[in-house]
Amino acid sequence: MAETATHIDIPCQRCKVRNRAICAALDDEQIVDLNAISEHITLERERTVFFESDPADYLYNIIDGNVRIHKSLADGRRQITGFLYSGDFLGLSVAGVYPYSAEVITTTTMCRFSRKGMTKIIERYPAFEHNLLQLASHELAAAQEHVLLLGRKTAAERLCSFILNTAEKQIGGISDQRAKLPMTRQDIADYLGLTIETVSRTFTRLKKTGTIRLPEPDTIEIANFQQLEDLALGEAAA
């Protein structure tokens, strides 16, 4: 077999998130170019990927692990705007800087692209930018859903929405009625605009009403999917 470019070992081609990440926009030949500007990095738990208002020199794809992104007020109040899982993309910027901080929750391996290199890739393969737009639109819709949650849902509705979203994002989807919570109660509280105590109490109430089970603090089992969904959508019987 001739030793053409596509037969040389290209790490990207056997990447475990190859088909779920933005790289899916490129075929095996095109991805050689992407491979050339990418590198893997691994960060330990609680390490910062970047800070809000840092120059946005890199884009990231999460290969394995979990990342949280947040914004803060001067006095320390924190609002987590998202939790990212393997396959997720990170690093959209505005005016050349990141609009939020990012930290890894568990030890996380990411694929990192330089923005400069990315610009060249985009010039060559417009499909890549098209994918980025799709992705940004999707994130925008998710952020607006988050706005609805924070602006108009009760504590129980917020937590149920969170459980559903988290389960959907896990490998295997929502089908196995089970979700791991890689983040702490404080993280959940800061995502849902609540306090740690309210999160804990609401978990307890959902257990008592038979909506969920919590075999361990970081493992949720959905006991009554219909009830959970009705609550999440604000359609529970008054």
Partner DNA sequence: CGATTGCTTGACTGGGTTCAAGGCCAGTGG
Partner DNA sequence: CCACTGGCCTTGAACCCAGTCAAGCAATCG
Say whether residue 130 binds a copy of itself (CB under 8 A): yes
Question: How is residue 145 written in tokens?
Answer: 């859903």
Say whether residue 209 binds DNA (CB under 7 A): no
Say whether residue 129 binds a copy of itself (CB under 8 A): yes
Say whether residue 193 binds a copy of itself (CB under 8 A): yes
Instruction: Specify the pairing of strand 58-64 against strand 101-104.
Output: unpaired
Q: Which of 1, 2, 9, 94 binds a copy of itself (CB under 8 A)?
A: 94
Q: Which of 5, 8, 41, 147 binds a copy of itself (CB under 8 A)?
A: 147
Q: CA dihedral defined by 122, 125, 128, 133, rounded to 10 degrees?
A: 70
Nearer to a copy of itself, 47 or 71 (CB): 71
Cα–Cα nearest to 105, from 159, 65, 70: 65
Say whether residue 201 binds DNA (CB under 7 A): yes
Q: Is there a contact between 116 and 36 (Cβ–Cβ < 8 Å)?
A: no
Nearer to a copy of itself, 36 or 148 (CB): 148
Say whether residue 78 binds a copy of itself (CB under 8 A): yes
> Shortest gap between Cβ of 185 and DNA (angstroms)?
3
Segment interacting with a copy of itself, rule: CB under 8 A, options 18-26, 40-48, 141-149, 218-226: 141-149
Task: Give bridge partners of residue 108 from the DSSP assignment.
Answer: 43
> Shortest gap between Cβ of 4 and DNA (angstroms)?
49
> Shortest gap between Cβ of 99 and a copy of itself (angstroms)?
4
N-to-C CA span, the chain: 69
> Shortest gap between Cβ of 215 and a copy of itself (angstroms)?
29
